[in-house]
Amino acid sequence: MTNIVVCGVAGRMGQRLAHLSLAAEDLQLVGGKEHPAHASIARDIGEIIGAGRLDLEVRDSLAGLVKADRVVVNFTTPEATLEDAAICAERGTAMVVGTTGFTPEQLEEFKRIVSGITCIFASNFSTAMNVLFKLVEEAASILGDDYDVEVIEKHHRLKVDAPSGSALTLAERAAAGLDRNLREVVVHGREGVVGARTEKEIGMHAIRGGDIAGEHSVLYAAPGEYIELKHLATSRDSFALGALRAARFAATAEPGLYSMGDVLGFS
């Protein structure tokens, strides 16, 4: 049995993680945490997620929730994730982290903090999306410089970071397949008289609207043809189920920083 603690348990992703943990025979929801100022603090998790009373209160800190036999699942903010990671590192508690929007400095600090524990870190935990990551790099390597690359992503209107972490990963994998440094060639959107497209650039475009759970596509275009590789999320369950799959992996894995590719066996 894998014991699960959910950070951001009152949020949309947190609620799905809690629900699916309760539904799984080999998982046990043992706690949940929210920001100290959140209205759910001290309320029963079951009442928050609509699952009936569970006798598990929403806590404002991980301090009383982390143990060596638990896995903390965190899809929150970079600042909160860094705080939670420090507590997990101190107590030797494994983590599954899907937080996006880290600055380069925050990401470096995060990796330093979790270096001594088991941590699965990914921009997207969907199984199908991780297959797409692999296919995008392979396609870029095969098609080569004759094909222009554009990454387009769509998300709900409440998403705070752009481009999405998954879109950045897709662009990084395409750049790797083309032996390019993404930071040197990425172009975020276009406006005005920008001139002809350069041969090496990789375009990035973020769309925000409604309640779109997530749509990502990578376009490879050459004169006379183009190919588009696409992933569409119809609900958050694809991400939540993947994260719980990662939690099962984390419960028995040796300390180290892992990707979802490691969980799926193709990194």
Instruction: Write out pLDDT tens, residues 221-239.
Output: 999 999 999 999 998 899 9
The domain that holds 136 is classified in CATH as: 3.30.360.10
Rounded to the nearest integer, the mean pLDDT of the chain is 96
**Residue 89's domain is classified under what CATH number?**
3.40.50.720
Percent of the chain at pLDDT > 90 equals 94
pLDDT of 267 higher than 80: no
Q: How many domains does the chain have?
A: 2
| pLDDT higher than threshold 80 for residue 144 | yes
pLDDT interval class at 209 (50, 70, 90): very high
Band (pLDDT 50/70/90 cuts) for residue 123 is confident
- pLDDT classification of 213: cutoffs 50, 70, 90: confident
Question: What pLDDT score was predicted for residue 236?
Answer: 87
Same domain, 150 and 118: no
pLDDT in tens, 25-70: 999 999 999 999 999 999 999 999 999 999 999 999 999 999 999 9
Domain of 207 in residue numbering reads as: 127-232
My answer on whether 101 and 138 are in the same domain is no
Catalytic center residues: 155, 159
| pLDDT tens-digit series, residues 68-105 | 999 999 999 999 999 999 999 999 999 999 998 899 99
Q: Is pLDDT at 195 greater than 80 in this prediction?
A: yes
| Mean pLDDT, residues 153-167 | 93
- Residues 102 and 10 both lie in one domain: yes
**Residue 132 shares a structural domain with residue 107:** no
Supply the pLDDT for residue 155.
95
| 56 and 101 both lie in a single domain | yes
Spatial CA neighbour of 149 closest among 208, 205, 195: 205
